[in-house]
C-alpha cells in the first residue's frame, strides 16, 4: 500500500458529536529504529515486542464546529488536568494527518489521556499515546465508513500513529511487530507496522519484560534530536545495514527459540543504539552509572546461573530485562536481591508480551 491508499477520498460526516475510546500498549524494540528520513520514514527496519501492562488510555470527544473555520481546535487533558504543554506535539500530529483525515478542522476536539505507568518513570509514552490517539481518530472515520475492513482500520491506525511518533506504529498490534522495508519480509512497509509474518516459537509468546527505573527524570536529549543526529553520522550506513542484518538473523531464532542467539542479537542492538549516541556530533550519553551496574550484574547472573536473562535499552537510562516466563521466579528473586538497589526509589515495573491495542 502507498500513502495515497490512506487518503479519505470524500466524506460526508453527519455526526455532530461523539466520543471514541482506545487503549494502546507501549512496545520494546529488539532491533532498534534510530535514524529517519522526512515524513517519519525509518532508515532501517525494526521489530518489537508489544507490551501488555504499560499502556495509554485515551478518550477523544468531538463536537462539530458551529461555524466552519480553518483553525485546529484541540484541548488536551492528561490525567484529568488541562495540559497546554502537550498541544504543540498534538497539533503537529494533526497537521501531518490532515491529508488522510481531512475532517480534523471541522470539529472541536477534547483528548483525555492517561498512562497505566507513572508519568515521571522515564518510560516514553509517545508510542502508546500516539497509537491510542490514532485509533480514536480511526474509530471516528469508521463511524462514517461502515464498510471499512478491520485490516484497513488497523493498518491506517498504524500509518497515522507513525506520523505522531515513529515507533508508535508498532503499538497497534501484538505480539511481535515489524516496521520498515526488509526485502525478505513480504508486505513489510516503511509506512506502517505489520505482525511479524514468520514462525514464532512459543517461548516468545509470553516473554517477560521487567523495566528497571534507573532514572525517572526527563531525558537530556530527545528522540527526535537523536534521530536527526544520524543524518551526518560517520557510522550511519554501517548501522543501518547492521540493523537489517540483525532482523534477518532473528528469523531462525524466532522460529527455533534459540535463546543464546536471541540474547546476543538483542544486547548487541541495545549497545549499538547507545554507541550511535556516543559517536554522534554533538555526542551524548543517556545511560547512567546504574545502567552499567545492572548490565554487569545481568552478565554475571547469566554466567553463574545459566539463566536466559538479557537486557535491552531504549533511548534512556532505564533497563528492560527480557526473559522467558518459566524463569520468572528465579529472576524475580535476583531482581529483588541484587538489582532493586540500582533503581530510583527501588521502582520497577513488571510487564510481558501482549496482544495489542483494545477498544475501551
Ligand atoms: O519513536 P521515536 O521517535 O520515539 O523513536 C524511538 C527510538 C527507540 O525507542 C530508541 C528505538 C525503537 O525502535 O523503539
**CATH classification at residue 308:** 3.30.70.890
% the chain with pLDDT above 70: 98
Residue labelled with grid coordinates 547512567? 288
Rounded to the nearest 5 degrees, what angle is found at the Cα of 244, between the Cα atoms of 38 and 232? Answer: 45
223 in the same domain as 161 = no
**Is 294 or 123 the better-scoring residue by pLDDT?**
294
Q: Would you say residue 42 has pLDDT above 80?
A: yes
Same domain, 321 and 241: yes
The CATH number covering residue 107 comes to 3.30.230.10
- Pick the atom of ligand 1 nearest to 273's CA: 10
CA of 71 to the centre of ligand 1 (A): 31
Does the beta carbon of 320 lie inside 6 Å of ligand 1? no
Element (H, E) at 54: strand 46-64
Q: Is the pLDDT of residue 266 over 70?
A: yes
Whole-number CA gyration radius for the chain: 20
Distance 67 CA to ligand 1 centre (A): 40
Please tell me the total count of domains within the chain.
2
Nearest residue to 359 via CA among 74, 61, 89, 58: 58
Cα 346 to its chain centre, rounded Å, is: 25
pLDDT of 10 over the 80 cut: no
Atom of ligand 1 nearest to the CA of 315: 10
Residue 34 Cα, ligand 1 centroid: separation in angstroms?
6
Mean pLDDT of the chain: 95
Domain boundary among 165, 198, 231: 198
In angstroms, what is the span from residue 194 Cα to ligand 1's centroid?
A: 16
Residues 332, 215 share a domain: yes
Confidence band for 125, pLDDT divided at 50, 70 and 90:
confident
Q: How far is the CA of 204 from the centre of ligand 1 (A)?
A: 21
Whether residue 216 sits in one domain with residue 162: no
Identify the domain boundary among 146, 172, 198: 198
Confidence of residue 342 (pLDDT cuts 50, 70, 90): very high
Is 13 a residue whose pLDDT tops 70?
no
Q: Report d(CA 356, CA 335) in Å as an integer.
A: 27
- Cα–Cα distances (Å) from 208 to 51, 61, 278, 354, in that order, read 9, 35, 29, 10
- What is the distance in A from the centroid of ligand 1 to the CA of 15? 36
Is pLDDT of 120 > 70?
no
Kindly give the distance from the C-alpha atom of residue 109 to the centroid of ligand 1, in angstroms, as a whole number.
27
- Look at residue 359 and tell me if it is in a domain: no
167 Cα nearest atom in ligand 1 = 1
Q: Give the domain extent around 154.
A: 3-198
Say if residue 249 is in the same domain as residue 345: yes
**Is the same domain home to 164 and 278?**
no
Q: Answer with the residue of higher pLDDT: 16 or 14.
A: 16
Supply angle C-alpha 254, 333, 122, rounded to 5.
70
Q: Ligand 1: which of 38, 211, 223, 239 to mutate, most ligand atoms within 8 Å of CB?
A: 223
In a shared domain, residues 247 and 117: no
Is the same domain home to 259 and 126? no
What is the distance between the alpha carbons of residues 207 and 327, in angstroms, rounded to a whole number?
Answer: 10
Q: What is the pLDDT of residue 137?
A: 98
Ligand 1 in reach of 179 Cβ (< 6 A): no
Average the pLDDT over 79-88 and give the result: 95
23 C-beta closer than 6 A to ligand 1: no
Q: Which of 164, 198, 232 is the last residue of a domain?
A: 198
Q: Is 121 in the pocket of ligand 1 (CB under 6 A)?
A: no
What are residue 274's phi and psi, to 5 degrees?
A: -75, -30
Amino acid at each position: 500500500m502507498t500513502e495515497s491508499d490512506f487518503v479519505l477520498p470524500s466524506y460526508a460526516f453527519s455526526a455532530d458529536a461523539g466520543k471514541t475510546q482506545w487503549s494502546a500498549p507501549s512496545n520494546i524494540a529488539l532491533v532498534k529504529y534510530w535514524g529517519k528520513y522526512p515524513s517519519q520514514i525509518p532508515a532501517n527496519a525494526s521489530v518489537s515486542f508489544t507490551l501488555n501492562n504499560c499502556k495509554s488510555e485515551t478518550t477523544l470527544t468531538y463536537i462539530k464546529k458551529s461555524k466552519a473555520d480553518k483553525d485546529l481546535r484541540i484541548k488536551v487533558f492528561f490525567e484529568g488536568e488541562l495540559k497546554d504543554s502537550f498541544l504543540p506535539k498534538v497539533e503537529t500530529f494533526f497537521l501531518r494527518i490532515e491529508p488522510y483525515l481531512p475532517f480534523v478542522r471541522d470539529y472541536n476536539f477534547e483528548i483525555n489521556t492517561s498512562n497505566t505507568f507513572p508519568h515521571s518513570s522515564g518510560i516514553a509514552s509517545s508510542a502508546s499515546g500516539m497509537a491510542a490517539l490514532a485509533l480514536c481518530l480511526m474509530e471516528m472515520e469508521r463511524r462514517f465508513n461502515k464498510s471499512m475492513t478491520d485490516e484497513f482500520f488497523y493498518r491506517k491506525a498504524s500509518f497515522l500513529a507513525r506520523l505522531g511518533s515513529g515507533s508508535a506504529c508498532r503499538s497497534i498490534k501484538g505480539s511481535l511487530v515489524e516496521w520498515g522495508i526488509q526485502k525478505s519480509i513480504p508486505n513489510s512497509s516503511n509506512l506502517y507496522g505489520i505482525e511479524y509474518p514468520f514462525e514464532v516459537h512459543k517461548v516468545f509468546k509470553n516473554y517477560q519484560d521487567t523495566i528497571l527505573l534507573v532514572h525517572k527524570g526527563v531525558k537530556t536529549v530527545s528522540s527526535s534530536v537523536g534521530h536527526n543526529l544520524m543524518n551526518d553520522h560517520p557510522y550511519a550506513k554501517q548501522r543501518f545495514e547492521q540493523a537489517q542484518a540483525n532482523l534477518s538473523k532473528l528469523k531462525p531464532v524466532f522460529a527455533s527459540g534459540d535463546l543464546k542467539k536471541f540474547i546476543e542479537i538483542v544486547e548487541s542492538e541495545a549497545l549499538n543504539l547507545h554507541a550511535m549516541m556516543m559517536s554522534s556530533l554533538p555526542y551524548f550519553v543517556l545511560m547512567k552509572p546504574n545502567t552499567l551496574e545492572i548490565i554487569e550484574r545481568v552478565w554475571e547472573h547469566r554466567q553463574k546461573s545459566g539463566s536466559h536473562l538479557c537486557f535491552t535499552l531504549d533511548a534512556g537510562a532505564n533497563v528492560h530485562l527480557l526473559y522467558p516466563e518459566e524463569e520468572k521466579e528465579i529472576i524475580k528473586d535476583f531482581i529483588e536481591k541484587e538489582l532493586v538497589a540500582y533503581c530510583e526509589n527501588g521502582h520497577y515495573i513488571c510487564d510481558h508480551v501482549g496482544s495489542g491495542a483494545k477498544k475501551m
